[in-house]
């Protein structure tokens, strides 16, 4: 350090401290914003944690803690796995989620590849149509599907088939958005190289494009699964009869009746299911991006 | 077997090119057909039911698939009942607007600082804070409402905590507009924060530093630099939140259950799923879609103008 710098370095902070009021000092620590953010995090998560806590309550109450027990999960009368309607709803949700992944993922991946690489006026129109479901309120999607299934596609019964059609319709756009962003970042050079080396288009897709897309395809499959598991509105318009209730529908109908902590247990199982799917998606994306947690989280955020 | 030399040439062999040109539309076809059959056609079905002039033996409207048979009487009545002060659905529309407005005000007041802090100031803990802020987004909406129903019961934790400071117990869950507005804000805040976070995250730090170096304080830097740069993100967040909120019916059913807090969504659900007058339900869906489309177009115009300015 040189001699001329020393007095300046000691004098400047002293002057700043004396003259600048705290709200004018740009280097002040953002305590207020930090407090708001942490308060929001607590406000948004603590109620859910308390609800999970009450799923382990050793009594029928959902508002007074009576000790720890696992009786509402398994093997007692009225527990999730013994109550026929709850167990049924869990099975319905799982089957529907898996079926939605199986149909929506290939459909969405093919759509993404087609729309990204095919340049024409028709593709622009198809592109527009495929993004509208993302911004359409669920009640409009749900009621429109309900009316078309009841009045026109009468060969589709309300219940699991109709719910599958509905879930695929609004999840295809998620797959499209995720896979397309990956396709755009890959660019067309690898396929062109493959074709210059003598591969035909199908071979180029199978040996070059699909392996490159695998993480995005897997992540979108997991997001489709979690979205289908969590959907309430579209399912409620299309489920038809009580046999086909999914977990969210059962939760909605039971919350105003006289619920036991088994309802909290069911909600907790649903939560674990969708979080497992997301953690898998996150881990695959992170492995892909060589350990950058934040960019993986941010891409999950961007795909909302 | 194609000649390897022609394969390497910059203009590809016509055969090869034609096959590729057919491949991409073929890949896009199933998804496009699916969306036409299950998104475009269903919307047409809503119109056919809303404009139906005949009923079947169950008193349910018979959809008028041919536009020439469309009758406007039901839709006209619904439109009139929605927007004249004495109309049957007027109160519900006004309530939807008021609830959505206040819930959005809460979203901006809480969501903007949270998104700003997470995007720009969180520092070393950014990953953790982002994960925690994103978490409620992936918790089932009904579960999050259920959690509050537990807390807000007459003998729940909220009343117990209020009792400790001497505030008498309040019955939160029996038709309180206050509860519904806060429940809406609580439910939709995660959807509000995420697009705003993305836009605040993209602001160039150097612009804020330049503003500081020119001697401008934090408040004026925020008003003249950060806020205008995040305007589009803020509008996106508002639109993304307002669209589902305007069609919400489950939030107020769960936390209130009283007809005094019914929104448009409740009327739609009632007419479509629980009664024969599906043409009224379908008309309400159309009116709602028209109102929301107005906001969508406004949003699209804004984003296009913004991208044009960015490329200029």
Separation of alpha carbons A99 and A246, rounded Å = 14
- Under 8 Å between Cβ of A41 and B128: no
The alpha helices in A20-83, defined as continuous H runs, are: 31-54
Domain boundaries, chain A: 32-69, 84-302
Residue from A74, A14, A40 nearest A266 by CA:
A74
Task: Determine which of B5, B6, B19, B39 to mutate to test the interface with A (most A C-beta atoms within 10 Å).
Answer: B39
Mutation site, A23, A63, A252, A254, interface B, largest B CB count within 10 A: A63
Q: How far apart are alpha carbons A252 and A265 in whole angstroms?
A: 14
Where exactly are the structural domains of chain B? Answer: 90-275
A39-68 pLDDT, tens digit each = 999 999 999 999 898 888 888 877 778 778
Interface residue of B2, B7, B12, B32 to substitute, partner A, most A CBs within 10 Å: B32
Q: Is residue B272 less than 8 Å (CB to CB) from chain A?
A: yes
Our CA-based measurement puts residue B45 at a distance from the nearest CA of chain A, in whole angstroms, of: 6
More confident residue, B29 or A129: B29
The lowest-confidence range among A44-53, A96-105, B18-27 is B18-27
Contact A240, A195 (CB under 8 A): no
The secondary structure of residue B161, as a DSSP letter, is H
pLDDT digits (tens, 9 = 90+) for B187-234: 999 989 988 998 888 888 888 888 888 878 778 888 888 888 888 889
Region of residue A67 (left: phi > 0; alpha: psi -120 to 50; beta: else): left
Query: From CA B158, how far away is CA A144, in angstroms rounded?
Result: 40
Q: Which two tokens stand for residue A281?
A: 């998606």
What is the dihedral angle through the alpha carbons of B149, B151, B156, B158, rounded to the nearest 10 degrees? -130
What pLDDT, on a 0 to 100 scale, did the predictor assign at position B288? 92
ipTM of this complex prediction, to 2 decimal places: 0.85
A84-302 architecture in CATH? Orthogonal Bundle (1.10)
Torsion angle of C-alpha atoms B8, B12, B13, B14, degrees rounded to 10? 180
CA distance B21 to chain A (A): 7
Residue of B130, B143, B282 lying closest to A267 (CB–CB): B143
The residues, any chain, with a CB within 8 Å of residue B156's CB and separated by 6 or more, are: A63, B150
Of A150, A54, A133, A298, which is closest to residue B119 (Cα–Cα)?
A298
Within an 8 Å CB–CB cutoff, is residue B175 touching chain A? Answer: no
Q: Which overall architecture, per CATH, does domain B90-275 show?
A: Orthogonal Bundle (1.10)
Asked if the model's pLDDT at residue B67 lies above 90, the reply is: no
User: Which of A44, A64, A114 is the closest to B28 by Cβ?
Assistant: A114
Q: Is the pLDDT of residue A276 over 60?
A: yes
Say yes or no: A196 contacts chain B, CB-CB below 8 A: yes
User: Which DSSP string corresponds to B10-59?
Assistant: SSPPHHHHHHHHHHHHHHHHHHHHHHIIIIIHHHHHHHHHHT--EE-TTS
What pLDDT, in 10s, does the model give residues A115-147? 887 777 777 777 777 778 877 888 999 999 999
**E strand or H helix at A149:** helix A138-151
Identify whether the C-beta of residue B282 lies closer than 8 Å to the C-beta of residue B208. no
Residues 25-64 of A with CB under 8 A from B: 25-26, 30, 32-34, 36-37, 40-41, 43-45, 47-48, 50-51, 54, 62-64
A292 versus A281: the higher-pLDDT residue is A281
The whole-angstrom distance between residue A14's C-alpha and the CA centroid of its chain comes to 51
């Amino acid at each position: 350090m040189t001699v001329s710098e020393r007095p300046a370095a000691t004098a400047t902070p002293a002057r700043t401290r004396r003259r600048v009021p705290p709200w004018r000092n740009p280097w002040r620590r953002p305590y207020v914003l930090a407090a708001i953010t942490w308060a929001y995090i607590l406000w948004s998560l603590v109620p859910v944690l308390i609800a999970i806590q009450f799923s382990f309550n050793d009594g029928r109450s959902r508002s007074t803690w009576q000790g720890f027990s696992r009786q509402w999960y398994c093997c007692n009368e009225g527990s999730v796995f013994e109550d026929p309607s709850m167990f049924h709803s869990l099975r319905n949700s799982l089957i529907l989620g898996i079926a939605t992944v199986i149909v929506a993922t290939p459909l969405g991946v093919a759509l993404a590849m087609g729309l990204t690489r095919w340049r024409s006026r028709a593709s622009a129109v198809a592109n527009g149509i495929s993004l509208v479901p993302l911004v359409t309120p669920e009640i409009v999607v749900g009621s429109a599907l309900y009316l078309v299934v009841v009045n026109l596609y009468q060969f589709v019964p309300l219940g699991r088939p109709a719910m599958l059609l509905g879930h695929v319709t609004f999840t295809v756009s998620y797959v499209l958005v995720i896979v397309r962003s990956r396709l755009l970042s890959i660019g067309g050079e690898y396929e062109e190289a493959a074709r210059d080396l003598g591969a035909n288009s199908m071979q180029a897709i199978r040996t070059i494009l699909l392996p490159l897309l695998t993480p995005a395809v897997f992540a979108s499959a997991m997001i489709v699964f979690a979205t289908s598991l969590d959907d309430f509105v579209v399912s409620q318009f299309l489920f038809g009869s009580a046999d086909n209730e999914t977990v969210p529908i059962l939760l909605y109908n039971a919350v105003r009746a006289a619920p036991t902590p088994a309802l909290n247990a069911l909600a907790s199982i649903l939560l674990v299911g969708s979080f497992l799917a997301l953690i898998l998606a996150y881990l695959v994306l992170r492995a892909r991006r060589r350990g950058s947690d934040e960019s993986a989280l941010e891409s999950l955020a961007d795909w909302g | 077997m194609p000649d390897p030399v022609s394969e390497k040439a910059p203009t590809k062999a016509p055969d090869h090119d034609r096959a590729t040109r057919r491949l991409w539309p073929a890949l896009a076809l199933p998804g496009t057909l699916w969306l036409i059959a299950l998104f475009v056609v269903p919307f047409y079905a809503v119109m056919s039911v809303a404009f139906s002039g005949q009923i079947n033996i169950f008193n349910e409207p018979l959809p008028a698939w041919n536009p020439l048979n469309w009758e406007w009487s039901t839709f006209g009545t619904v439109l009139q009942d929605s927007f004249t002060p004495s109309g049957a659905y007027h109160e519900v529309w006004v309530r939807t607007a008021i609830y959505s407005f206040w819930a959005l005000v809460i979203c901006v007041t809480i969501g903007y600082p949270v998104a700003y802090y997470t995007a720009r100031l969180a520092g070393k803990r950014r990953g953790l804070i982002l994960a925690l802020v994103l978490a409620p987004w992936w918790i089932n909406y009904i579960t999050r409402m259920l959690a509050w129903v537990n807390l807000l019961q007459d003998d729940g934790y909220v009343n117990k905590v209020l009792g400790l400071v001497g505030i008498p117990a309040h019955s939160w869950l029996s038709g309180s507009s206050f509860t519904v507005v806060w429940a809406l804000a609580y439910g939709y805040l995660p959807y509000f924060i995420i697009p705003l976070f993305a836009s605040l995250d993209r602001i160039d730090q150097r612009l804020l530093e330049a503003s500081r170096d020119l001697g401008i304080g934090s408040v004026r830097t925020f008003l003249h630099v950060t806020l205008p740069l995040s305007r589009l993100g803020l509008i996106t967040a508002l639109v993304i939140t307002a669209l589902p909120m305007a069609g919400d019916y489950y939030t107020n059913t769960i936390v209130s259950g009283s007809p005094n807090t019914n929104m448009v969504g409740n009327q739609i659900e009632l007419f479509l799923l629980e009664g024969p007058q599906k043409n009224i339900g379908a008309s309400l869906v159309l009116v709602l879609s028209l109102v929301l489309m107005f906001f969508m177009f406004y949003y699209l115009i804004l984003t296009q103008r913004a991208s044009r300015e960015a490329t200029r």
